Structure 1
Amino acid sequence: MSDRPKSMSASAFWIAAWERAMQTDLRVSDDTEEEKFWEEYAPMYDESNPLAPYTEALMDAVYSHLAPDDHLLEVGPGTGGFTQLLAPKVGKITLVEPSASMYKAFYASWQKTGYLLPAVLAEKWEDVEGIHADVLFCANAVYRIRDMRAALLKMNQITKRHVFLIQSIGRPFAGPLTLSWNDQLYERERAIAISEILDELAIQHSYRTFPVERKNGMTHEVALIHWKPRS
């Protein structure tokens, strides 16, 4: 088993792996199926699979770059675990959350915080237009994006100061990209593929991993990908 075909770019591999996954998992491309999943799973997400509470060292690396007057755009906030950590560090937050069920869970959790409710764009990242922010933050929310090159380029274009992408590594918390090609199976961790696509775009970035012990006692690596956008 190899990482990816030598003749295939990281961005092309991402699309090919997405199209392969689409054939076996309706959630990958079908918005209705994705929403059905979150209707059932969102209310119990914080009980079964929270990540934010276990990322102190990782988040300290993020906090050091934030300013009190920053406008932060969070893509895929889920139930708001990371949003609640970020809220005291910035001046304003806007959310990008296409799932009504997940936002319902976010709202229920947020009501307990006492913070001002962030504005929300109820659409997929690919469809977002007309917004700019000082900082962009996204944790484990890019699994349904087909064209990662375009998605990263868009993040770079709309953000003024910092982009932070958090991506879990390894099963069962994050399955790798997989592709059968010329009778060979290829696998690539999403975090590594994202870093390679940024290289394709000539976007200088840092790639750091942090060991995170989850609620069930399992320890795995979580990547923090960070860059400063350039015009």
Structure 2
Amino acid sequence: MLKLTDIDFNAVWQETFGWNTDDKSGRKFDDQAESDFWVKLAPHYTEEYNLNHDTPLIAQRLHQLLGSGHSILEIGCGSGNFTALMARYSKSILGLDFSPAMLTVLQQRLLAEGIGNVQTHTGKWEDFTTDAAFDYIVSVNSLYRIRDMAAALHKMNAYSRRGFIIVRTIQRPFFYRLYRNCGLDCAECLDYQLLPLLLWQQGIQADVEFLNYTKDRSFNDLETVVQEMRNDLGSEVFTSQRDKLLSALEQQAAPVSDGYTVSQPRTTVIISVKK
């Protein structure tokens, strides 16, 4: 009989997220493709992909967990959407990111906002080494390219004096809840389920909590909505369920002068370790 303790969750991680496949094309596996992607996105990332625009709950919870006056290492700081907020109540922050383009935007932002307690370092968490120790380590949606997740988590535990926090917004289609209400399955990323198991398997006591909120999106016309649903579900499934889906959408979409505004539930998971 298979026991929970017999399962190698690191192997499950690698299998689930494609590390054992022969095809290693795409951003996750190709450093140059990843770097090029962020060069294009960096100038408008803060404006268009800032979680703080969706909800203040994540930043508020981070502050509650971190307290004030501590040193922080942030893995995948990007353009600083959370860095700039944490800097207000932290002693110091080292922002680590793979993308020089994103760090350039962050440095410009720090200068513009007069933030002087943040330093940056270019590189991957897997390769990062230092003699310094940090009170806390924080990662917000930044661990998606790591193959050996067990080692990455062990390292976070070793480099932090007080603990660490991993924030994962569950990667689901925007219309995920609408699809499920219509009895339809759709893809979602299950990394948030494996991360606590990997920690617990190492004997690291991790707490898990879910922050639920709504995200609003605007669509120019119904055809734009239809195309997104077709891409999510596949043409055959969408066509067979079109009437049910559009009926459900009609109950949730608010017409505006230039199209539709739709609100859908979203969930962010906070995995925290306190020493």
TM-score where L is the length of structure 1: 0.83
Query: 1:14 is matched with which residue?
Result: 13
Preserved contact between residue 58 and residue 211 of structure 2 (Cα < 8 Å): yes
Distance 1:155 1:199 in 2: 14
Query: 1:70 is matched with which residue?
Result: 70
Preserved contact between residue 22 and residue 28 of structure 1 (Cα < 8 Å): no
Uncovered stretches (5+) of structure 1, i.e. residues with no partner? 1-5, 174-185
**CA 1:139–1:107 in structure 2 vs 1: closer, same or farther (change >3 Å)?**
same
Uncovered stretches (5+) of structure 2, i.e. residues with no partner? 175-186, 218-262
**CA 1:124–1:215 in structure 2 vs 1: closer, same or farther (change >3 Å)?**
farther
Give the share of equivalent positions with the same residue, in percent.
27
| Amino acid across the alignment from 1:163 | F
Q: Give 3-state SS (helix, strand or coil) of 2:126's partner.
A: helix
Query: 1:89 is matched with which residue?
Result: 89
TM-score where L is the length of structure 2: 0.70
One of 220, 224, 228 as aligned partner of 2:270 = 224
Q: How does 1:1-231 map to 2 (within 5 A)?
A: 8-16=7-15, 17-19=17-19, 23=23, 25-116=25-116, 118-130=118-130, 131-172=132-173, 189-214=190-215, 216=217, 217-229=263-275
CA radius of gyration, larger in: 2
Q: Give a deviation string over 1:139-189, Cα, whole Å, max 9, x none.
A: 00000011110000000001001211100113247xxxxxxxxxxxx9761
Q: Which has the higher contact order (CA 8 A, sep 6+)?
A: 1
Query: 1:182 is matched with which residue?
Result: none
| Amino acid across the alignment from 1:224 | I
Distance 1:80 1:123 in 2: 16
Deviation at 1:215, TM superposition (A): 5.4
Give every structure 1 segment of 4 or more consecutive aligned residues whose post-TM-superposition deviation is greater than 6 Å: none
Preserved contact between residue 18 and residue 28 of structure 1 (Cα < 8 Å): no
Computed over aligned residues only, the root mean square deviation of the Cα atoms, in angstroms, reads 2.5
**CA 1:71–1:104 in structure 2 vs 1: closer, same or farther (change >3 Å)?**
same
**CA 1:156–1:104 in structure 2 vs 1: closer, same or farther (change >3 Å)?**
same
* Residues matched between the structures, number: 213
